[in-house]
Structures are given as C-alpha cells and as structure tokens.
Structure 1
Amino acid sequence: MACSPTRVVTLAFLSLMPAFVCDSATAQVSGLIEFSESGRLQRGIPLVSLASEIVVMGRDGWLHSIDPLQPETKFKSLEGQYEPLSAPELRNQLRAEFGKDFEVVATQNFLVVQPLGRGDRWAKLFEQSHRGFVSYMSKRGVNVRQGRFPMVAIVFPDRGAMYDEFKKQKIDVSRVAGIYSNNSNRVMTHDGGHLTSIIATVRHEAAHQSAFNTGVHSRLNDTPKWITEGIGQLFEPAAVTTSTTASLRRQRANEDSLQVLKKSYPGKNNPEFAQAVMNLVSGDEMFADEDHVMDAYSVAWAMMFYLAERQPREFAAILKHTAMRRPFVTYQRDERRADFEEVIGMNPYEFSRRVSWFLESL
C-alpha cells in the first residue's frame, strides 16, 4: 500500500499479489480451468503455478490466488480458450453483485458502479482521466495498448460503505478516499466527502488503472514504486487530462508535490534530494517509512515529470523496460540501479541535478 505525499490519509494504490519469487515457478497447470472461490465456480487461466499456490486470471480481470493443497480447493482443466467477459456480461455481473441501490453507467472504456441518481459526473471523470492518460503518454512515445477488460470503477455513497467493501475483500487500509486494487483491477472511491480532494484521488488511482490496463505497467512483475507512484502523482493535476491547459507545463505540475519538495529539499542541487533519488532508484523503502513517505511520493513525481517533459524518449524507454520484465521475479537493488543508468543514460546523482534545475525553472 502507498499514499500520496500531501494526502497520506486520503488515497492508496493497493496490490494484494503474493510476494515475488525467483525462478521457483513450475508449469504444473495450464490452459483454461474452472475453479471454486468463496463458493462460486469461476473460469480463468493460470498465470503461474507453484507447489502451494496457483495464480489465476479470472474472466473478469481479477487475479485469484488459490492453494492446491487445501482440501476445499477445487479446480479442473477445461476445453477451449480463455476469453475475458464482454462488457454486457460484466455489466450484468456487477448489477447482480451490487444490487438494486446501485446503477452501472457504461462509457467507451469504463463500467462505473454508483448509487442510483448520481448522473454522469463520475463516468465523465473516469473517461476523461483515461483519455487524458492515453493522449499524454502517446505524445511522449509510450506504447499504449487497448486493454482486454472493461475497466471497473466503484463509487460508494459514503466512506462507511466503501470501508465495508474493503472489509469484505480483506483490504486492510485506513483513512483513504479511494484505492486502485491490482488484484480486482478496480478503482474504489466514494462521494460522501470533500469532492475536490476525492477527485484528485480519482485521477491518481485512475492513472494506475489505465497504466496497468494498457501495458504501460505489468500487473505481474515487480515495477519500482518511483515509477508507478510517480505516474499516479503525474496525473493528479486537472491540466494533465484536459485539453484546454495541457500545453502549459507549469499548470501540469503537481503543486502539492512541489510544496513538499520546497520544504524538504530547499535550494538547487540539495544533497539530500540527490540521496532521495538514489534511494528510490535502488528500492521502495522510502514508501514504507512513515517519516519519509510524503517525500517519496514527491520525489517520484519530480523524477517522472522531468522525464516526461524534458526527456520523453527516456521516459518511454524506462516504462517499456520495466513493463517487459519477467513476471513474478524480484527486482534486485543492483539490477535496478544498473538498468536505470543504462536506460536513462546517466547515474542517479547526475540525474538528480538535472531534475533539481528543472524544478527551479518551474
């Protein structure tokens, strides 16, 4: 779990995948299978098979972890090929899941589940966020694929209802306005709070969802958090996803992140900023440190914003490189640093100086 620097208590990007493993997967199960989870029969395709765990992609895009050693576990191979649920099939499934007090609003790319009578405000926000993501990335040479699944966003009537859903899904987070769950491939939020803050959260989490559904990130490998969370921070400002102000770089800057950076790393070429860049390139520990999590998000934003705006070729290259890594393999510290220097073309300390000067120019 991770949180935005200035809204540490309002959002989270959540991945419930099992820990990454190194070369321990064995292809024991393959092809289309039928399996039982929570008393419901489902179909999917195994992504990896271990002695004590099989990770399955369901037809609705969920990632399921099943234990073949448990006596209640049931699965069998089926004839045929894996096919994701169609939008109408998934829409009917969502209606059955959430009941008569909710409606499902469809857009070109989304199925938005919301309380009855909310109109099209949320659907427009999610659709605009995704279209802005695709446009911004494409203009910078990033390969953006068409996703295999309709993206699902759940808007609950209030915070309590959202947390009831978290509890049902065994999601252990607190004080958040919304999350993107890698396992369910859903954004979940609510409209019972301060709308401005929630909308910024939605843009952040929708960027995660867009990135993982278009191949910009892989849902199955160990992508450095400075990249995934830097992307989330990148799309929080409204100007990044709207055409009216998208040409003005200063308006695309994340003001909250800028303020954190000014406070934590004042002046140009601050050595502590350089060390923070090195720390993020090497590992994700800063995101788990309550004393430095705000700095981690802000520095990650600065790194990705600099690359996107000043070195778009390297921006596209680092996203392509990390997305194409082998699935379920831990990204070791030395490998992370070596890949960074090869793809970006400089060491993290030189890179930090360029980012620092770029921030000053804003």
Structure 2
Amino acid sequence: MLPTAFPTCLILAMLLLAPARAWSDEPTDSEPQPAVRVTFSDKDEQRTITGRVIVQDQEGGMLLEGQDGRRWVIEAANVLNREVLAAEFTPLTHDQLAEQTLAELPEGFSVHTTPHYVVCFNTSRAFAQWTSSLLERLHRAFTNYWENQGFEVREPEFPLVVIIYATADQYREASREELGSAAGSVIGYYNMLSNHVTMYDLTGAEAMRGDDAGRGSLKEINRMLTQPAAVPLVATVVHEATHQIAFNCGLQERLAEMPLWLVEGMAVYFEAPDLSSSRGWRGIGKVNYPRLRTFKQNMTTTRRLSVADMVADDKRFRESRTAVDAYADAWALNYYLIRYQPDQYVSYIQAMSKKLPLLPETPEARREEFQKHFGDIDDLERDFLKRMSRLK
C-alpha cells in the first residue's frame, strides 16, 4: 500500500465537519484587502491573529487567513474582538515566516530557504537541500506544464513551508494530533489549514536503513535512490508537495469542496518518480504503473468506481480500506482526461478554482458540473474504459 493514500483525505474529512452556512464573498485576491486583527477562543486557548477574512457568515463567523498563510475556521460565538486595521494585508516574508516557524518547533531545527520554500529541518543540511531542490524542480515543472495548457498560474502569495524531522519517531509524535492513528502509516502529508508539508528524512525509513552514521548524507541519498523501496517514498514527497503547489498557485482553493477524484488524481498524476535520475524525479505525465496495475486489476470488479460515482461522492477516498483503489481510479480518470480531453479538462479546472471555501455541494450538482464540461457521463465512461484497457 502506497502511503500517499491517507493524509489529504483525512484532513478533508476533518474540515468538512465544519457546519455549512451562508458564507459571503470578501474582496478577491487581486484587490487591496484591509488587514484585520481578530481575537478568538480556540479550544482552551485565546489567540489574536492579524490577517484577512476570506469568507464570513451572517452571524459573524469567519474563515480567517493569517499573514503566514494559515487558515482558521472561527465560529461566531468564539470571536472575542475584531478590529479593521488601517494597513493593507501583507504576507510574511521568507525570513519572517522562517523565524515564526522555528519558534513553533522544538529546539534543534534549522532553516534552508529557496525562492519558493522555507524548509525547516533537524536532520542533515544535505537532505534538506536535496529535498528543496526536488521541490523547486517540481514547482517549475508544475507551473510550466499548466501554463502550456493555457491555465493562468499565479506565484504563491506565501512562502511554502516544509518541515522535515530527522526520524520517523519524531515525525509520528509531532503529527499525532493532526493525523491520529494514521501518523504511523504515512511518511508525509499536506495540511490545508497550516499550509505546511510535514515529512521525515527518507534515508531514515525502515526500508532504507543501513549504517545510520551516514544517514542524510549525499552518499546515503544517492544509495537510497537506487533501491526499489524508494519509489513510494519519493512519490509521497512529490504527491504532497503537488497538493501544496496546486492550492497556492490558483488551480485549487483551500477548504473549498473540491472533488477528491480531481485533487488526489492530479497529485497522483504528478507523483511518479524517476529513480534512473540521481535527483529522484524529473518528469510529468508518465504512466504511473503501480496505479495503472491496480486500476486494471479492478476494472471488471466492484472495487472500481464508476465515473459517475467517483464524480458525485468522495466517500471511498476517505476510507482506508478503499482509498488505494479509489486513488488508482482517480489517477486513471485524470490521465485519460488530460490526454484525450485537455481543453475541457483545463476549462473544468478553471471552474473549480473559482469555488469559495466551506460551501457544500450536492452529488447532483457535482455530476451536472462535470457533464457541463465533458459531456454525457455514460458515453465518457465507455471511451475511458476502452482507452485505459489498452494502455501499457
């Protein structure tokens, strides 16, 4: 089982428990936005956050985004004070965000910054630099790909934070509150509230473990990349980093009800590593053979989701016993649409990117939106199965 099957769906499931309300628009990202200072109760703590209101309800509840990019879903009853400031909203700089993030982490963490990333780590600097190099290549490839497809990609407004723990035990302990029992099953995840990717040093994974004395060194990284067990590990990093990029460059809106076949399928489409490269990943759009193999095995069974069911409902993505099969279905559908209906796919993504956070949708509305862009869903399913059954 690839470890990419859990993190985002668990976080989405948690977020969608928030009560649905009649949320209203605030100014768009392209307009100057006033900063606000909100004091509110958060569990047993009182917090004061300077940021901007993304959406709000009629009672005074709000989705607040801090200067660090973190989002807070605040019930009206928990708002203690709200003050509109004279200044415009401004995100933290790389240095400011690095300082804030380090202050929130245990002692012993350092920081490595790149044009798009703030990487906080307590493992070797060599591993942090290798990871940030991989992420910058992914960011460049991702944005170039969608720009070539005709999508207007924007630069991330906030520096992208990645936290790397030296050991799996440290990572599990730090992630337990966010992931619960799944903390022991995955090696990395993206959190849509914090906007962080969290992971641990892959050279310390059980499957990679050799002489711990060289763990995190360039020699150990290169050794790791020669092993088949590295495939799901590198895929996880690329998968979760793809989520982070997509939610920060305008393709997807954090906390909006984005269909998981699209959100997860796009990440799986980008995740396939290339271990023939010393850098671990270097391409987009290659056949993801582990996912294709699962999809073909399930093609004529009840383990495969029909396109209509996949589009309408996310349930099987959120359940651990069906998530791997659902992710394979999602990869296959995204691969098919990108390859055979690219214009319609980009048009659909553009429509999805305009969704507001925290607004629920019915299964019927989701199917209707899909058919608006791709045509009759039964006709598409027949062509989808025919073409994917021939893929090798």
TM-score by length of 2: 0.79
Q: Which residue of 2 aligns with 1:157?
A: 166
d(CA) in 1 for partners of 2:305, 2:326: 11
| SS state at 2:77 partner | coil
d(CA) in 2 for partners of 1:9, 1:299: 14
Residue 273 of structure 1 deviates from its aligned partner by 8.1
Q: Which residue of 2 aligns with 1:135?
A: 144
Q: 1:22 to 1:9 in 2, by over 3 A?
A: closer
Superimposed CA distance per residue, residues 71-121 of structure 1 (whole angstroms, 9 cap, x where no aligned partner): 8x4443322211111112112212322254111111111111111533211
- In the TM superposition, what are the counterparts of 1:22-37 in structure 2 within 5 Å? 24-25=22-23, 31-36=34-39
Structure 2 unpaired stretches of 5+: 27-32, 209-229
Q: 1:94 to 1:8 in 2, by over 3 A?
A: closer
d(CA) in 1 for partners of 2:52, 2:361: 25
d(CA) in 1 for partners of 2:282, 2:200: 27
Superimposed CA distance per residue, residues 25-60 of structure 1 (whole angstroms, 9 cap, x where no aligned partner): 3689x9422234645532011223333732200000
Given that 1:53 and 1:66 are in contact with CA atoms closer than 8 Å, whether structure 2 keeps it comes out as: yes
Is the aligned partner of 1:260 residue 2:294?
yes
Amino acid across the alignment from 2:330: A
Is the aligned partner of 1:349 residue 2:381?
no
| SS state at 1:112 partner | strand
Select between 99-108 and 272-281 the one with higher mean Cα deviation.
272-281
Is the aligned partner of 1:62 residue 2:57?
no
| SS state at 1:238 partner | coil
d(CA) in 2 for partners of 1:55, 1:335: 24
| SS state at 1:184 partner | coil
Given that 1:274 and 1:349 are in contact with CA atoms closer than 8 Å, whether structure 2 keeps it comes out as: no
CA RMSD of aligned residues (A): 3.0
| SS state at 1:188 partner | strand
Residue 150 of structure 1 deviates from its aligned partner by 0.7
Residue 160 of structure 1 deviates from its aligned partner by 2.0
Residue 65 of structure 1 deviates from its aligned partner by 2.3
d(CA) in 2 for partners of 1:235, 1:118: 26
Q: 1:150 to 1:274 in 2, by over 3 A?
A: same
Residue 271 of structure 1 deviates from its aligned partner by 8.0
Which one has the bigger helix percentage?
2
Residue 7 of structure 1 deviates from its aligned partner by 1.5
Structure 1 unpaired stretches of 5+: 1-5
| SS state at 2:385 partner | helix
Residue 327 of structure 1 deviates from its aligned partner by 3.5
Amino acid across the alignment from 2:346: A
Is the aligned partner of 1:334 residue 2:364?
yes
Q: How many correspondences in the alignment? A: 347
- In the TM superposition, what are the counterparts of 1:1-362 in structure 2 within 5 Å? 6-8=1-3, 11-13=6-8, 14-15=11-12, 16-19=14-17, 24-25=22-23, 31-36=34-39, 38-50=45-57, 51=59, 53-70=61-78, 73-98=80-105, 100-119=107-126, 120-167=129-176, 170-174=178-182, 175-191=185-201, 192-193=204-205, 194=207, 196=230, 197-238=232-273, 246=283, 252-265=286-299, 270=300, 276-344=306-374, 346-359=375-388, 360-362=390-392
Q: 1:361 to 1:58 in 2, by over 3 A?
A: same
Amino acid across the alignment from 1:59: Q
Amino acid across the alignment from 1:264: N
Residue 176 of structure 1 deviates from its aligned partner by 1.5
| SS state at 1:105 partner | strand
Amino acid across the alignment from 1:176: V
Residue 292 of structure 1 deviates from its aligned partner by 2.6
**Structure of greater relative contact order (alpha carbons < 8 Å, 6+ residues apart):** 1
Amino acid across the alignment from 1:102: F
d(CA) in 2 for partners of 1:92, 1:327: 29
